Amino acid sequence: MQENSLTILYEDRELLVCVKPRGILSAKDASGKTSAADLLQPRTLYPVHRLDREACGLLVLAKTRESAAFLSGIMGSGFSKEYLAVCEGCPPEEGELTDLLFHDRRVNKTYVVKRKRGGVKEARLSYRVLQSGKQSLLRVRLLTGRTHQIRVQFASRGYPLVGDRKYGASCSGPLQLYAWRVQFSHPDGRSLCFTLPEAYCEYKTAGLLPAD
């Protein structure tokens, strides 16, 4: 089902799973820019995780305070998030990246830093290269959820995401970052898993995406 260009993949009394298009905020903020909640009115929705405004992909929103508390509580353990990303260059075939990150809200940019201090958080992710070349297709699993985490962790190693001029990409264009798969426990005990339909990925991924 589509509502004002936002596609709903699943909805019940407790939560909603949708495909957030580029240019839409995951949650309302002081900027006044259009958010997913704006497109899904008159529902009352509570964000439980965020997706960069420039990125496209799966977004889970709670419909009650109790569901929001439950989903927020399992984040990082019972809530798995995987992404597809296209980076410049060719990183090692697979690996796990760990950094200390600081997000500067004044400029909305995240930096890799060397020491712990106020506002600095550890960030971890694992990845696998699905296709390599001058541009490489990656499957990324977040082990923590930090602002701009995937973007800055790859950029800091010389592999900025395609289209990500904020973090040093060589060319402009749409940010090649997609929230591809989410798997989590429903408040009623069911295990739910959703995968982004390939039609939403501008990068040619046919035949490259794993089935599992």
Catalytic residue positions, numbered: 52
Q: Which of 80, 160, 161, 90 is nearest to 129 (CA)?
A: 90
Radius of gyration for the alpha carbons in the chain, expressed in angstroms and rounded: 17
Give the 3-state secondary structure of 36-94: HHHHCCCCCCEECCCCCCCCEEEEEEECCHHHHHHHHHCECCCEEEEEEEEEECCCCCE
DSSP structure string for 98-159: EEEEEEETTTTEEEEESS--TTEEEEEEEEEEEE-SSEEEEEEEESS--TTHHHHHHHTTT-
